[in-house]
Amino acid sequence: MNTLERLRPDPRPLDAEWSAATLESILSDFDPSTVRRGRKGRRSTVIVASILGLGGVAYATGLVPALVSDDLDAISPSEVSNVHEVATFSTGRDGRTRTFEIWRGINERGQSCTSVLEAQGKFGPEFGGYCGDYPTDAWFDRTSESWRGTINDTPPPSTVFVYGEPTLAGVTTVRVLGDGFEHDVQVDQRTGGYAVAVPELGQHISGHFATVEFLDAAGNVVGRSELSEK
């Protein structure tokens, strides 16, 4: 696939206000040398630098999906198809709000592959996520954290988040509850997915740690899923 083809992803709707604010931040602060894939500590090359050459319209009309597709190609052992947005969630720490987009596709092995984009990362756009045989209605991960220092420095704490795409009909709300926490999040009507941060969970979790309940519009629980860390 040539460069022009990579810059022509299928258009996907993005929140205009968020896109404009993110674009302004990227264009004013972006340093191409700091694009990172936080989970594996490797640099994500690709098309971020092209944003600067193509101007503001490019970001709003689809370069983010192109970035995500490239990231998925990098982490998957085989081609990834049916790439789509799952949900967006935010976390807050030290007075700073961070916003993450979760994108998902399926590779040729049938694995679910996720790319978690933080467009306004501390040192520029950053990615997390991975490919695996895990359920798509309820799963979990941790935010990717980058920092400047040596290998002996303690990395900043990450935040657990729960996300998915309900398979049961009529689900409008998802509740994530466990020891000392309960979070309700609306299913995104645009994407059909959900995501929510669970800051109460510490850096080391093991065994069963959360129950995910799927609720209909009347507040009835129509299904459950259990989450465990081996």
Taken as a whole, the chain contains a residue count of 230
Tell me whether residue 62 is exposed, middle or buried, using C-beta atoms within 10 angstroms of its C-beta: 0 to 12, 13 to 18, 19 or more.
middle
Is pTM beyond 0.85? Reply is no
pLDDT in tens, 71-123: 998 999 999 988 899 999 999 877 788 999 999 999 999 999 999 999 888 78
Give pLDDT, residue 133.
95
Q: How far apart are CA 68 and CA 76, in angstroms?
A: 12
Task: Give the gyration radius of the chain's Cα atoms.
Answer: 18
The token pair at 169 is: 């009909």
Q: What are the DSSP calls for 11-57, one per residue?
A: P----HHHHHHHHHHHHHH--GGG-EETTTTEE--TTHHHHHHH-HH
Enter the DSSP assignment of 191: T
Residue found by looking up tokens 């609306």 in the block: 186
- The band of 156, judged by pLDDT with boundaries at 50, 70 and 90, is confident
